[in-house]
Structure 1
Amino acid sequence: METKSLLEFCLHAWGANSYGQLGQGHEEDQSVPRLSDTAALPHRTVRAVGGGGGHSVVVTENREVFVCGQNNKGQLGLGHTADLSTLQLCPGLKQRVTNVACGWDFTLLLTDCGKLLACGSNAFGQLGVGQTVTHSADLLVIESLKEPVVSVAAGLRHSLAVTDAGCVYQWGTGLFSHAKRALSPHPVPSHLSSKMPALVPGLDQKTSHIVTAGSTHCVCLTADGDLFLWGSNKHSQLTTTEPFLSSPTLLKRSLLGGEKVKNVWSGWTHIVAQTESGRVFTWGRGNYGQLGRPTSTSSNPERPSAEGGKQEVYLPADVKALCGATQIACGSEHNLAILGGCLLSWGWNEHGMCGDGSETDVFEPQLISGLRPLVIGCGAGHSMAVCAATTGSRQNSAPTPLQ
Structure 2
Amino acid sequence: MEEGSRREEPLKEEEIWSWGAGTDGQLGTGKLEDELLPQLLHLPSLAASAAGSISMLACGGAHVVALTSGGRVLTWGRGTSGQLGHGEMVNCLYPKAVNSLEDHVITHVSAGWSHSGFVSDGGCLFTCGDGSFGQLGHGDYSAYSTPAKVSYFVNNHVEQMACGMRHSLVLLKGSLGSQVYGFGSGKRGQLGISVEKIKSANLPRVTAGFEDIQITTITANGDHSASLSVDGKLYTWGRGFSGSPDINVPSCTLPSLSFSQVALGWNHALLLTDDGEVFMLGGNRHGVLSNTEKMMNTAPNHLPGTESSSFTSELFILSTSLFLCPLTSFIFLVLITVDGEVMTWGWGEHGQLGLGSTSDETDPCLVRNEKEAVAISRVYCGSGFTYVVKAVH
Output the CA distance in 2 between the equivalents of 1:335 and 1:112: 31
Matched, 1:380 2:383: yes
SS state of the match for residue 305, structure 2? helix
TM superposition shift of 1:314: 5.7
Q: Matches of 1:368 and 1:179 in 2, distance apart?
A: 36
Residues 49 and 375 in structure 1, CA contact (< 8 A), matched pair in contact too: no
Aligned counterpart for 1:32 among listed residues 9, 34, 37? 37
Work out whether 1:245 is the aligned partner of 2:247.
yes
Q: CA deviation at 1:234?
A: 5.5
Aligned-partner Cα distance in 2 for 1:59–1:179: 30
Asked if residue 117 in structure 1 is aligned to residue 120 in structure 2, the reply is no
Distance 1:99 1:377 in 2: 15
CA contact (8 A) 1:279 1:320 kept: no
- Measured after TM superposition, the shift of residue 140 of structure 1 is 0.8
For the Cα contact (< 8 Å) 1:267–1:331, is it kept in 2?
A: yes
**Does the 8 A contact of 1:47 with 1:375 survive in 2?**
no
Contact 2:126 2:147 in 1 (8 A): yes
Q: Equivalent residue for 2:80? A: 72
Corresponding residue of 1:368: 367
Unaligned ranges ≥5, structure 2: 1-8, 323-330
Alignment check: 8 A CA contact 1:56 1:68 kept: yes
Q: CA deviation at 1:113?
A: 2.2
- For each residue in 1:120-175, what CA deviation from the matched residue of structure 2 results, as whole angstroms up to 9, or x when unmatched? 000000011111x51011001112123212222111000111111151100002x3
Deviations 1:334-389 (A, max 9, x none): 22222122222222111000100011112222222333222221111110011234
Give the match for residue 301 of structure 2.
317
Q: Is the 8 A contact 1:214 1:267 kept in 2?
A: yes
What code does the residue aligned with 1:252 have?
L
Could you report, residue by residue, the CA deviation over 1:74-126 in whole angstroms, capped at 9, with x for unpaired residues? 10000111211111122131211122211110011122222221110000000
Give 1:288's aligned residue.
286
Q: Judging changes above 3 Å, is the alpha-carbon distance between structure 1 residues 317 and 49 closer, same or farther for their aligned structure 2 residues?
A: same
- 1:58 to partner: Cα distance: 1.2
Corresponding residue for residue 170 of structure 1: 182
**Shift in CA distance, 296/314, structure 1 to aligned 2, threshold 3 Å:** farther
**Does 1:331 pair with 2:333?**
no
Q: Which moved more, 1:220-229 or 1:38-47?
A: 38-47
Residues 53-92 of structure 1 aligned to structure 2 (within 5 Å): 53-92=61-100
Matches within 5 A, 1:4-15: 7-15=12-20
| 1:206-225 map, 5 Å | 206-225=213-232
| Distance in structure 2 (CA, Å) of the matches to 1:81 and 1:32 | 30
How far apart are 1:5 and its partner, in Å?
8.8
SS of equivalent residue, structure 1 residue 57 = strand
Q: Tell me, yes or no, if structure 1 residue 49 matches structure 2 residue 47.
A: no
- Asked whether the 8 Å contact 1:202–1:247 carries over to 2, the reply is yes
Residues 202 and 383 of structure 1: is their aligned pair in 2 closer, same or farther, counting only changes over 3 Å? same
- Whole-Å Cα distance in 2 between the matches of residues 97 and 363 of structure 1? 39
What TM-score do the two structures reach when normalised by structure 2?
0.85
Residues 352, 359 of structure 1: 8 Å contact kept: yes
Q: What is the number of residues matched between the two proteins?
A: 354
User: 1:13: Cα distance to partner?
Assistant: 0.6
- Greater mean deviation of Cα atoms: 118-127 or 48-57: 48-57
Are 2:241 and 2:281, in contact at CA under 8 Å, matched by a contact in 1? no
RMSD of Structure 2 on Structure 1 (CA): 2.2
Of the candidates 114, 120, 142, which is equivalent to residue 134 of structure 1? 142
The aligned counterpart of 2:5 is: none
Structure 2 distance, partners of 1:16, 1:385, is 15
Superposed counterparts of 1:248-267, under 5 Å:
248-254=250-256, 259-267=257-265
Aligned pair partner of 2:205 in 198, 203, 207: 198
* 8 Å CA contact retained: 1:69, 1:84: yes
Is the partner of 1:144 in helix, strand or coil? helix
Aligned to 1:357: 356
Look up the match of 2:6. Answer: none
Offset of 1:179 from its aligned partner? 5.3
Matches within 5 A, 1:219-234: 219-233=226-240
Shift in Å at residue 18 of structure 1?
1.2
- AA of the residue aligned to 2:127: A
Distance 1:31 1:321 in 2: 26
